Amino acid sequence: MTVAALPTEEQAVQAANFMAAEVHAPAFFEKLAEHGYETANPAEQQQLLQLGAVLADAEARGQIKSAAPQGENPFLSHVLNRWSSAPDPADVESHQKEAAVELAKAQPIVKNAALIWNHLQAGGEIEKPQEQPQEQPEAAAE
């Protein structure tokens, strides 16, 4: 699927904000909860989202290094142990796609935001604002 027309800059910003607030953040915190970690307050949620964004960027650039658990931090040891037995990524991706399709069917705003988001993630362009012709000042009468 593709977007019917190029999204405007405003639509791109709205789609990104919607996907972050309504799709990515809830999925992120749900995944943390599955691993036994609940956030304490909105400030901690914001910090974890920022950390998640930094890690996602590092992963996309191939800059992730793995570390062996040192046992000094129980949370990190727990996460490292849980991730070492992570489910098959193909199964997870398939489940995520099925859930996304069902959500898009139920809520058209999700479908539109996802289409715009995917368009932008694939390097798609946004609609350029039309330049208004500049009015030429009338020649002053001599």
Tens of pLDDT, residues 119-137: 888 888 888 777 666 666 5
On the CB side of 124, how many CA atoms lie within 13 Å of its CA?
19
pLDDT in tens, 56-81: 777 777 766 666 555 466 776 666 66
43, 71, 74, 92 from 86: Cα distances, Å: 28, 20, 18, 10
Instruction: Domain ranges for the chain, please list them.
Output: 12-35+46-60+70-121
User: Positive or negative CA dihedral for 25, 55, 32, 39?
Assistant: negative
Task: Name the residue among 129, 123, 127 with its Cα closest to residue 7.
Answer: 127
Report d(CA 63, CA 124) in Å as an integer: 25
